[in-house]
Structure 1
Amino acid sequence: MICPETSYPAEENLFLNDHVALMSNCYRKLLGKKLIPENPTNEKLAKALFYAPFVVVSHNTAADPAFNYANLKALELFGFSWEEFTQLPSRLSAEPIHQFERDKLLAEVSRKGYLDSYQGIRIARSGRRFLIKNAVVWNLLDSRGCYAGQAARFEEWEFL
């Protein structure tokens, strides 16, 4: 059974509006700009993000963080279903040889709050490798200021 917080974004669950609001608010606070350049209403933000032409993903706070959000573009790029992707430890989005670099990135984001212009190699379910370019990775903090995971946004990638 899939937990409600990991249900596929759809009209019935308002496209996971609460989680999208968390990602969007943290992005705006840390970077001073909107996650989606357009200005959709709060009710439409989650749907707009899910269907956006760029990738947005996030992972949780587990000891081995797993993805807990991916928009449609991310699911297409990585080649996973929602159910598969939201059970995937986020470290497995990078090949073992690139996981140390990824770990350094996430540690730096934890310290600074965000990192922009990140570049790194990732791997799709099919084994196809791609280079993400100019990615923004940021911390997610809940309304009490407690760490709630990390998210990433990028719109440039190159298949290798």
Structure 2
Amino acid sequence: MTMSLALDPNFCDLLTDSHLRVVGAPLLDPEVLQADAARWLYEDAPFCVVAHNTDADPRFVYANRAALQCFEYTWDEMTALRSRLSAEHPNRNERDVLLESVRTKGYASGYRGLRIARSGRRFWIEDVTVWNLINREGIYCGQAATYRQWQDV
């Protein structure tokens, strides 16, 4: 199991710093110590966080444990998955429109979308915030999403 980004403090910093700069709000509770942030976000966060890369057909590069449980994948399975496959085919156009809007505007919040788990279980993700991962040098590194609520269909 290669979990290179799961506990990577630099990737955690990219997630949290870009969320703060792009969305204008902290991703993590200020009580979480910076030194422990990567472990806490991956292992203990009570909300889901996923991120995909900049490929033409983006692939997930990160999913915390809450998201892995929600989607019913292992780390290796999730990080091999093209992110478009997290939505069923009829719902992919809506997802594509959202991601293109985020790409040009920086972020979107309040999104609700239908997703599919590995088992085929369908579920709504609700009050989702999606943002561009932009590093401190201004380089676009992909997109990330976070949500605290989901419910089975």
Supply the distance in 2 between the matched residues of 1:31 and 1:95 (Cα, whole angstroms).
28
Amino acid at match of 2:137: R
Name 1:116's counterpart in structure 2. Answer: 109
Supply the distance in 1 between the matched residues of 2:145 and 2:52 (Cα, whole angstroms).
9
Amino acid at match of 2:21: K
Shift of 1:38: 3.7
Report SS of the residue matched to 1:138.
strand
Shift of 1:132: 0.7
Partner residue of 1:97 out of 79, 90, 95:
90
Supply the distance in 2 between the matched residues of 1:116 and 1:72 (Cα, whole angstroms).
22
* Contact 2:107–2:132 (8 Å) recurs in 1: yes
* Contact 1:8–1:83 (8 Å) recurs in 2: no
Structure 1: 4+ residue segments shifted above 4 A: none
Q: CA RMSD in A?
A: 1.3
Deviations 1:87-120 (A, max 9, x none): 1000000000000000000000001100000110
Identity of aligned residues (%): 44
Q: Which moved more, 1:32-41 or 1:44-53?
A: 32-41
Name 1:126's counterpart in structure 2. Answer: 119
Q: TM-score, structure 1 length as denominator?
A: 0.91
Q: TM-score, structure 2 length as denominator?
A: 0.95
Q: Gaps spanning 5+ residues in structure 1: where?
A: 10-14
